[in-house]
Amino acid sequence: MKKFTNLLVKEIRELVNKQLIVSLVMTMTIFYFVGNLAKTEMKKAAATQKISVMDLDESDVSRGLTAGLKTANFEIESIPGKNPEAAVQAAKQGETYLLLVIPAGFGESIVRLEPREISTYTFLRSFSVGGIRKSEILRAVISATNNYLSNDILKKKVPDVPPDILKSPIKTKDFVIVKDRMAEGSASAISGFVWSQSFIIPIILFMIIMYSSQMVISAVAMEKQNKTLETLLTVPIPRTSIVTTKMLAAGIVGLLSAAIYMIGMKSFMGGMTGGIGSSTIVSGVIKQLGLTLAGRGYVLLGISLFFAILCGLAMAMILGVLAEDFRSAQTLILPLMLMILIPYLLSFFADVQTLPLPVKILILAIPFSHPFLATPNIMLGHYSAVLYGILYMAVVFFVLVFIAARIFSTDRVLTMKLRWGKKKVVL
Amino acid sequence: MTTVLKVEGLKKSYGTKEALRGIDFEVQAGEIFALIGPNGAGKTTTLRIVSTLLSPSGGKVTLLGYDLKKEPERIRENISYLPEEAGAYRNLKGTDYLKFMANFYADTQEKTEEMVKRARDIAELGGALGDKVGTYSKGMVRKLLLARALMTKPKMAILDEPTSGLDVINSLEIREIIKKFAKEGISVLLSSHNMLEIEFLSDRVALIDKGVILDAGTSGGLKDKYQAPNLEVVFRSAVR
């Protein structure tokens, strides 16, 4: 055990080098600052906004509209004069992002049911999310005013019928069913909410598997490049311990690095969303449908991720042996990256169940697909699919470890290498 | 004399290429036995097989009675191997590297410290042992590695081109160290291109070419046999 610990500590010390620490600190700092900056911008967008208004009508209806804007946290800057072109020029000079021009006779035109157009101008001074949100708020205010006015008109014209019935004679009540549970709600709203809550999971999976695998490949390649492997292979320690410590060290450091990156990422994403978007109604429906990852779900996802990491490490170990030096190791990581990237991208855009059979088999044959598929499967209660995935990854892992251990206990650890010039594996 | 290493009919092939075609030799306790020959003669392959890195295609190797094929772990406990182009972990300090290696051989902390102290004395790198290996010159790395190989007092030190690429002063120092440790009872199996080095260091020499041992004996004995002034001429005559 002492020898094993000795080797493990060395492997961890080799991996936790200045480059890794600097890269982690830099990324965390960037995430933190960009996240905070975004949060400030989003808060600014949600705070009181200036809007220039040229009201050429000055009727009750136009005043109602501007009152609505004030309620929506807009600070009205009235532009005097009668010329809309001049209003645009005046607004251009100022700091306002929005201009609203209400034409003369607007109120009367509404009453006559011959509505005149009001003009909205959005000054795109940047392409930031905050800037776009300002015009969205304005549009929402106009839409609310429209709704109010149309209700008012309908009440006057058809006093006996509620305006709601006139505007939407067909009423719908949406239900969503997940296995044996049913709840009232919109499928698209629920899907959107689940996605917004769980989209981070594939990113975490991708980063952890990538990190750990890259570390193992590099560790083996560096042993070869620095000519330390031969010495290590002649010390009195089982070859399986050499394989295991390299994988374990990379697993530990990979997990820690990914955790640190994810903390930074969370801070960044928190800033980007500005803490908006979580609807208590939708989240209630989510709970009712059991579309959460509590307890058993997290355990299963954790086990699935654990075995995916192990598979990645074992594959990386074999690929590392093929590398002649650190540079060739960077090339050899490519097939592994592709195997992780395919299910990662698919998890965002496609449903594996609906894919053609050969593609489905191919996807399921990639061990890294299973943790990506685990989240939706757990949420939808398809636990057996998750368990089969774990079992499959366990089998793949043991086969790979057997191969890696065989390679390390024979000449091949020194003689096997991929020669790009000759494009063949020399055994 | 006690036989430490016995090599019988050793063969090794890489695919269709025969690197060793059946070689035999023995190394006694405290003896420095050298393999000399040109590039590709089979010197490094022999050393790599004895140090358990490569498995033989045929023949038998026993070290202290342990069969190489059946008990490689026991052999590793009793040898130290210094490859020709060996390196040390660049991120570790010299002392940390020695401690790391000593921990594989020592059961207790005291033994580890004892080995590291011995290595310090062998390497004579002084305060540089507190620096990272990445900052060392080639000669310093070689001394560190030789100290690592000898600090455990192995039954057999296997040294592949121990002074390869070093300047005269460093080479002389390393030869003195090897000679000193052999006198303390460590058997040495080494290979070299440098015939002068072999004459100075070895008790017995084997001339190897194309995977076959052409002749073996003491430097003096071989020179007498081939009526040659030095080992270089002996080798040329043996090849003919």
Check whether residue A150 and residue A214 sit in a common domain: no
Q: For A158-199, where are the alpha helices, taking DSSP H only?
A: 163-167, 187-198
A114 — phi, psi (to 5°)?
-125, 65
* A38 within domain boundaries: no
| A240 contact B CB<8A | no
Check whether residue A309 and residue A162 sit in a common domain: no
The alpha-carbon gap from B28 to the nearest alpha carbon of chain A, in Å, equals 21
Distance, CA of A193 to CA of A209 (rounded, Å): 26
pLDDT in tens, chain A (427 residues): 888 999 999 888 888 877 778 878 887 888 788 778 877 777 776 677 788 899 998 888 888 888 888 887 788 888 888 888 888 888 787 777 888 899 989 888 888 888 888 888 888 776 666 666 677 777 887 888 888 888 888 888 888 888 888 888 888 888 888 777 888 888 888 777 777 666 777 777 787 778 778 888 888 888 888 889 899 999 999 888 888 898 888 888 877 877 777 677 667 666 655 544 445 667 777 777 777 767 777 788 888 888 888 888 889 888 888 887 778 888 888 888 888 888 888 877 777 878 889 988 999 999 989 988 888 888 888 889 999 999 999 999 999 989 988 888 888 888 777 665 544 444 3
Which residues on chain B are in Cβ contact (under 8 Å) with A231? 81-83, 86, 101, 145, 148
The alpha-carbon gap from A336 to the nearest alpha carbon of chain B, in Å, equals 27
Per-residue confidence (pLDDT) for residue A269, from 0 to 100: 65
Distance, CA of A61 to CA of A145 (rounded, Å): 9
**Encoded tokens for A164:** 């709601």
Per-residue confidence (pLDDT) for residue A130, from 0 to 100: 62
Q: Which residues pair with A77 in a beta bridge?
A: A52
Distance, CA of A344 to CA of A371 (rounded, Å): 10
Residue-range domains of chain B with CATH: 3-85+157-239 (3.40.50.300)
Check whether residue A154 and residue A192 sit in a common domain: no
Radius of gyration, alpha carbons of chain B? 18
Range of the domain at A162: 50-167
The alpha-carbon gap from B165 to the nearest alpha carbon of chain A, in Å, equals 15
The answer to whether A27 and A261 are in contact (CB under 8 A) is: yes
Name the residue facing A228 among B48, B88, B104 (closest C-beta).
B88
Query: What is the side-by-side strand order in the sheet with A49-55?
Result: A74-78, A49-55, A98-102, A119-122
Numbered residues of chain B with Cβ closer than 8 Å to any chain A Cβ: 14, 48, 51-55, 73, 76-77, 79-83, 85-92, 100-101, 103-105, 107, 145, 148
Q: Closest Cα to residue A184, out of A193, A192, A175?
A: A175
* A280 within domain boundaries: yes
Question: Into how many domains does chain A fold?
Answer: 2
B103 and A6 in contact by Cβ < 8 A?
Answer: yes
A236 and B85 in contact by Cβ < 8 A?
Answer: no
* A198 within domain boundaries: yes
* A37 within domain boundaries: no
B86 and A228 in contact by Cβ < 8 A?
Answer: yes
Q: Which A residues in the span 218-237 are in contact with B, Cβ-Cβ below 8 Å?
A: 226-228, 230-231, 233-237
Listed residues A112, A137, A167: the one ending a domain: A167
Check whether residue A154 and residue A225 sit in a common domain: no
A10 and B79 in contact by Cβ < 8 A?
Answer: no
Check whether residue A201 and residue A146 sit in a common domain: no
Nearest CA in chain A to B84: A227
User: Is the alpha carbon torsion for A120, A125, A126, A128 positive or negative?
Assistant: negative
Per-residue confidence (pLDDT) for residue A277, from 0 to 100: 46
Q: Closest Cα to residue B141, out of A18, A235, A234, A227?
A: A227
A230 and B105 in contact by Cβ < 8 A?
Answer: no
What value of ipTM does the predicted structure carry? 0.90
Q: Which A residues in the span 385-424 are in contact with B, Cβ-Cβ below 8 Å?
A: 410-411, 414-415
* A176 within domain boundaries: no
* A238 within domain boundaries: yes
Per-residue confidence (pLDDT) for residue A279, from 0 to 100: 58
Check whether residue A233 and residue A101 sit in a common domain: no
Distance, CA of A98 to CA of A92 (rounded, Å): 10
B87 and A228 in contact by Cβ < 8 A?
Answer: yes
Question: Which amino acid, B24?
Answer: D
Distance, CA of B114 to CA of A383 (rounded, Å): 57
Side-chain-side CA neighbours of B219 within 13 Å: the count stands at 18
Check whether residue A307 and residue A407 sit in a common domain: yes
* A224 within domain boundaries: yes
**What CATH number is associated with residue A85?**
3.40.1710.10
The answer to whether B84 and B160 are in contact (CB under 8 A) is: yes
Helix (H, G, I), strand (E, B) or coil at A51: strand
Q: Closest Cα to residue A192, out of A99, A283, A102?
A: A283
Check whether residue A133 and residue A215 sit in a common domain: no
The alpha-carbon gap from A331 to the nearest alpha carbon of chain B, in Å, equals 23
Check whether residue A193 and residue A148 sit in a common domain: no
Per-residue confidence (pLDDT) for residue A196, from 0 to 100: 67
Name the residue facing A235 among B83, B89, B104 (closest C-beta).
B104
**Encoded tokens for A327:** 């540079």
Distance, CA of B78 to CA of B63 (rounded, Å): 8
Check whether residue A422 and residue A300 sit in a common domain: yes
Which residue positions in chain B have pLDDT lower than 70? none
The alpha-carbon gap from B224 to the nearest alpha carbon of chain A, in Å, equals 38
The answer to whether A87 and A38 are in contact (CB under 8 A) is: no
